[in-house]
Structure 1
Amino acid sequence: MRYPAFKPIVASGLIFGLLFSYLPAQATVYDVSGIPPKNTGDAITAAEVNLMVDMLRNLKKDDRGDTDTSNDRLGIGIAGTPGYMLDVNGTVNAAAFRGDGSQLTNLPNPGAWQITANDIYYNAGKVAIGINSSPTYQLEVHAAGDSAIQVNAGGSGNDATLRLKNDSQEWIIRNNGGAGDNFQINNVTTGTTAIDVDSTSNNVTIANELTVNNDITTTGIIYAAEFYDTDTGTPIGGAAGLWEEGAEVDEIYYDEGNVGIGTANPAYPLQVSGDVKLDDHLAVGGSATVNTDRVAYIDENFSNDNNNYLLMVQGTAAGSTT
């Protein structure tokens, strides 16, 4: 396209002066002998305008830059024809870039993180934080000193939850904002609270059996409905806490009812179903009775030689034998 002659408002000499002063020594040299000097108010012919346009369109900053006017491309710092709209061989310093960056190349791990709406995810491997090596697990957090993963549920009454899930079971570890901020371990699959720690008293509640494979040391009292032996689950017997410590060392007592040994329904304060051996004194404040056809032998001086004893048969003292 060629342009008609026009009369510039500013001096044409100023235009050419600025134009030619910008061209470095290595740039392409144009013959401007056909353009006479201009004064303020002089007209610029169409040929002169076309010459200036051609010079501007084919402008080179130096030999390392080039333009491809047929494809509207500009090269900076390259030798030869630019391959892109802007082809730069060097560092670009800019306050901002516009665009989504989807065509950027040579970036570290291009496309590692995927963005969907406001979500970001990575499903091609493992992630490590705080180390400069390949992680062993899906997520690893390392620190030179103390390290932590914080789950913060803002506001009152909200749950901070860590979920553990496989194809058959799902568990959560949380502080239950709806239950006094108690610490809990819940089985989501069955809908039960396996362990609950009261946030005020720190008391621990276990929903089912507690199996201990080592010693338990406590400075307080352990309450339980039953204690079991180490066999197939036979109760040791009795409810915990029935026996109380007496005033003397190694002294215990029970004052809530009858005690049975060998019988589940004792009718007396102490009822023994079976033989009884006494290796020390027997103090009887009342009568001594032998039921049914049982025989009781009380050895004198506890010599256990059956030479001196008191024989009691069917509740009656039958005499003594020497």
Structure 2
Amino acid sequence: DQRKALPLKSCSLTKPGSLPNPPRPRSVSVVSTTSQLSSRNPKDVLRHRIFHLSEMLRVEKANRDDNTSCYVELVGKADREKAPSIRQAFERINQRSSANIAQLEQRLQDSWAQLKKLEQRIFTSQDSSSSSATPAQQQLTTPRNSMSHQPSFSIPRNRTTETCIVEELLPSISESKENRSAQEASSKQILEEEIKQRVQELKAQLLDLREDHKVLEDEWHKLDESWKADKQQMMELLQEEKKRYYHLEVQVNDVIQINLNEITNLKHDLACTEEKMVYQSYERVGLTWVPTIFYSSWHPLSTLLLQNVLELHWAVLPPSSIYVHQIFLCTTSAHLGVSLSLLLYEHCAI
């Protein structure tokens, strides 16, 4: 039998953002091959169809596995923003590939059922043809006839070869199904494990971020409280400094006023002392000047007065009492001088 595999386009993840639609299996090509092989044995046609469908199924499952591996790589390398779009695209492609695989498996099962029905018909026809032949006719047959009937014996031989081929194909297809199912299960398990691992890593990162956020929030609260305490302390210190400055200013003003008062008092005292000194100097000058003037003016008067008194006494008194009169005049002149000096002192005091 000639077995031809039709080329199929693989459905793979080319870009994370845009994913092409997977092509559907070409049923038209299968119909064309069946129409070309309609002249042959129907068994051969069914075998070719089964082989073709199994090959298409293998390619589709391989494409799905490639898409799964590509999705895992893209999810591992992509950012958080691109991961949902990649997941949605992969789900769409996976749904389409699963639908195609289910359709191909259904068609393959139908082909196997048709092949089994055809084999059962051939077996029943062969049994009926073998039972219709009588033993007498089989004995009367010549070697030539046996040679001529040799093609009729080729049917069971062909049947055994066909059944052998079918028996060989069935285990291989079942094994391929089992392998594909095992690979699919393993790929799904690996994908789930990787997704779970990724989710666990993200959860761990989220917990770390929450802990960091909590630590930073606690530190921020501590800093805020310390800043408020420092601010309050600084305001209190500032108020104390203001009060101290005010008291110092008052004290300085008081000291300055006291100093100014003392300066004015000293100036007044100095002026008074200067005036006293000037007055005393003038007083001293006056004390020395007044007696000299008075003496200069009083001396001729006193001499004149004394002469008049003496003349009067000489004229009145006798000569024996001249000595006594002289003593009287001296005493009177002395009394006059003392009285005049007292008058001068009182005048200066005033």
Q: TM-score, normalised by structure 1?
A: 0.25
Q: Which structure's relative contact order is higher, taking Cα pairs within 8 Å and 6+ residues apart?
A: 2
Name which one, 1 or 2, has greater alpha-carbon Rg: 2
Tell me which protein shows more helix as a share of its residues.
Answer: 2
Tell me which protein shows more strand as a share of its residues.
Answer: 1
